[in-house]
Chains A and B, each alone.
Chain A
């Protein structure tokens, strides 16, 4: 994941985005195409929510340009899209975990990317916010690439799943292709039953739902 957003350079192989090696691009060029929402974002200093969201402009702005009224409207718009309009003047640090994630999604909206990478966006969040954050990300109309620990959430939210074990891709395909009882046993080492979720996804496909069994001692 860190290789994808250029924090680490891969020791071998090439990562391509739209057929160009991502390390051939200038750093701000890449940031215009790919936005990233990280898992935990430290901030001891009192940046307001507005300031954090405005950071999405960073790759688009030259050094001396200031924020125009259009930019301001875009930022305000993004903040209300994620439902934080009442908090825009508040300090980022005072937000709850889910609100922080939503503020970072607003930052990504302002960044206007073609791809949104989310590193475990739902860990540390309550169930309600897990669903809220993911549905918000899905509603943006850009490709979202996210990592999950919660397989049922992944199943309900994603069009395609990739399973990676020890650095190798072992399974790839739609949720119903990937989430099988065999795969869960082989890769995750758990015993489980896979049924269909009572709800059917918007595209009309059934959503596999996993029920885990306990008592491994």
Chain B
């Protein structure tokens, strides 16, 4: 009877995995047919089969929408995984990749470049964002790494403080900049997948795949952290070092994504919570489903951003934050009723 019970859990996990894999594939495919230019699913098919024969629609799909949709998927899954990891190692349900000052570091880098060099587009911008977020990450690890006790608290507080520090510098620079730069920066911080190109897609793909793989192999240690530092130590986890490693990995994911897509808030916070409603995060399935759901969600957010307004693109960050806060408020509301 116990064995039956067990396999019921297995079945539910496989089912959840199956559903999220098919949802992800379906979304990646159908999302390609949405956009300013009228295209059909048939065109999408053609773009897969005959990428050499360049009809106008298939070229739009292959050269513009495909890298963009893939980047959206990668961003969503990367942020969701990073959020899950940070929530786990800090045991704080509010932890999210942006709480630790990484995105404000990136914004600072971008603003600094725009203000000093006058550059407002292109590869240099991503590089500046990456450097800015790595700087923030370095400072955070320097502070959290020195702490022997109360590491979680100092990590969270230092993250929030860093994020305010960088925002202060950013605001100061913006104050002295001309209005055009301010508009460019605003657009950048709100996030967009418009800069996606096949040529640069390998970087987030590599970073996210590697980090996800490492996190999957450390899943027991991650679960052990959920029951408290003391308990994790008794299971042979070297808590301080492990937490720093996980912080580095999730910061790396965030830094790369912020550099490529700008600030996209709330996904990292929200998706792990949604998945936790349905399956235990302890299993491999839990981690994979989180990343798939994150990706799928982001693909549809991108579709919305392209198609909500005619001839105009809504910033992705606005949509995720709007959906995110409504979700969060309802989460709080229903939690209160359950008690």
Contacts and interface: CB of A to CB of B under 8 A. Distances in A.
Interface stretch (A50-58, A175-183, A207-215): A50-58
Nearest to A79: B2
A106 interface: no
Query: Binding site of A, secondary structure by majority: helix, strand, loop or mixed?
Result: mixed
Interface string A25-45: 011111110111010011111
B180 interface: no
Given A38-B231, A89-B9, A47 B236 contact: no
B228 interface: yes
A66 B218 CA distance: 11
Nearest to B275: A46
Contact of A7 (B9, B221, B233, B282): B233
A2 interface: yes
A48 B278 CA distance: 12
Residue among B223, B230, B238 with the highest chain A CB neighbour number at 10 A? B230
B54 interface: no
Contacts of A55: 220, 223-224, 227, 235
Given A45-B226, A47-B282, A58 B2 contact: no
Contacts of A63: 217-218
A61 interface: yes
A38 B230 contact: yes
Interface in B197-248: 217-218, 220-221, 223-224, 226-231, 233-238
A45 B230 contact: no
Interface string B89-109: 001010000000000000000
Contacts of B224: 55, 58
A42 B280 contact: no
B2 A85 contact: yes
A130 interface: no
Given A45-B276, A64-B217, A89-B9, A58 B236 contact: yes
- B-side interface size class: 35 or more
A54 B93 CA distance: 23
Interface of A: 2, 5-7, 26-32, 34-36, 38, 41-48, 50-52, 54-59, 61, 63-64, 66, 72, 76, 79-80, 85, 88-89, 91, 111, 117
Given A5-B234, A66-B284, 20 more contacts: A7-B229, A27-B236, A31-B236, A34-B234, A38-B231, A41-B227, A42-B91, A42-B227, A43-B227, A45-B88, A47-B226, A47-B227, A48-B280, A51-B223, A52-B282, A55-B224, A88-B5, A88-B6, A111-B235, A117-B234
13 contacts: A5-B230, A27-B236, A27-B237, A29-B236, A42-B91, A42-B228, A47-B281, A50-B9, A51-B282, A66-B284, A76-B6, A79-B2, A89-B8
